[in-house]
Amino acid sequence: MAGHDIIVVGASAGGVEALTTLVRDLPANLPAAVFIVLHIPAQSPSLLPSILSRASQLIAAHPEDGAKIEHGRVYVAPPDHHLLLEEGRVRVIRGPKENRHRPAVDPLMRTAARAYGPRVVGVILTGSLDDGTAGMQAVKTRGGIAIVQDPDEALYPSMPRSAMENVAVDYCLPLAEIAPMLVRLASEPSADDASFPVPRGMDLESRIVGMEMDALQNEERPGTPSVFSCPECNGVLYEMHDGDLTRFRCRVGHAFSAETMLAEQAEELETALWMALNTLEESASLSRRMMQNSLERGHAMIAQRFEEKVREAEQRAQVIRQVLLKEPLVVAPSEEIDKASENGA
């Protein structure tokens, strides 16, 4: 019976140092394959394989699509591509982003769980937000083992803490203790795969992110239609529930956790507010210029109208500026505004 020989690891902010420490303590004869997703910018060259190879006795590399899975190797997701697992091989695919990332942790863990079931060990290290939580849930659903770095020692504790709060994690360990645990688990026999059938939703999502055309063209949807639109493509988002987890996925495959959706909406709101602030300040500047021109021509009534426009734009800009800078919101009472208008007249 196979051991726990499929090790899938996810990290984000602070991940290079954590991953280096993790692989440093893995032996050259490790009877398992290690797969790593680190959130990295799409256009940045990744030096992670060379960094990990120097620190470890294992060979780390960006795999080619379709590469054979071998024990004693570290497979690192390349920039702007998901790293997915099928039985016996890896897939490197530029599929739809999940949780605003490509590569993302959830697709790696989900496809590993689908293909290898109880043989999978999922590991979540330091990182922001909650990518990997849904993937870890998939690992547990298929009988795998879940390990998280102790959030109290993680440089960025959000990812491991989210996994702990939402998934029945098997081990919460200091970083230095994770590698020895992986070595031990790799040699221990895993449970029978047949005892943990692949849920329909897991299979469908794995095929969608793998860009399988039958899944993309199928009218079957991953959840129920929500009132929200996809931040990536503006399509309808379908709401899904994995235990206590609420997630969203659109027709073409973009996926978001609830926390990631909130972060995305906050960014969109901030962008809209900055645009509104710029428009109001330009409006106040133009109205001020028109007021001055009217005064120079002796058109007092017209100048007064433009003065009111200046005041109105400046007051609205003040409100938006305070929201953006998170200052205490101070809005002049309506009677004070009226009084100021009378004095200006």
DSSP string of 204-271, one letter each residue:
HHHHHHTT-HHHHHSS--SSEEEEEE-TTT-PEEEEEEETTEEEEEETT--EEEHHHHHHHHHHHHHH
Residue ranges of the alpha helices (H) in the chain?
Answer: 15-24, 48-55, 105-116, 133-141, 158-166, 175-187, 200-209, 213-217, 258-296, 300-324, 334-344
Question: Annotated catalytic, 193?
Answer: no
**Distance between CA atoms of residues 239 and 146, nearest Å:** 25
- For residues 86 and 79, give the distance between their C-alpha atoms in angstroms, rounded to a whole number: 20
Nearest to 56 by CA among 26, 30, 33: 26
Burial of 318 per CB tally in 10 Å (0-12, 13-18, 19+): middle
SS3 assignment, position 277: helix
Measured CA to CA, the distance from residue 13 to residue 256 in angstroms comes to 18
- For this structure, is 131 an active site residue? yes
Catalytic pick from 106, 131, 190, 254? 131
The active-site residue, picked from 4, 39, 82, 101, is: 39
Cα distances from 165 to residues 90, 117, 257, in angstroms, run: 30, 22, 14
Catalytic hit among 4, 5, 12, 206: 12
Rounded to whole angstroms, the Cα distance separating 112 from 313 reads 55
3-state secondary structure of 122: strand
Pairwise CA distance, residues 330 & 268, whole Å? 24
Catalytic, 39? Answer yes
**Sheet hosting strand 171-173, strand order edge to edge:** 59-61, 73-76, 33-38, 6-11, 120-124, 145-149, 171-173
Taking alpha carbons only, the member of 62, 63, 15, 22 closest to residue 40 is 15
List active site positions: 12, 39, 131
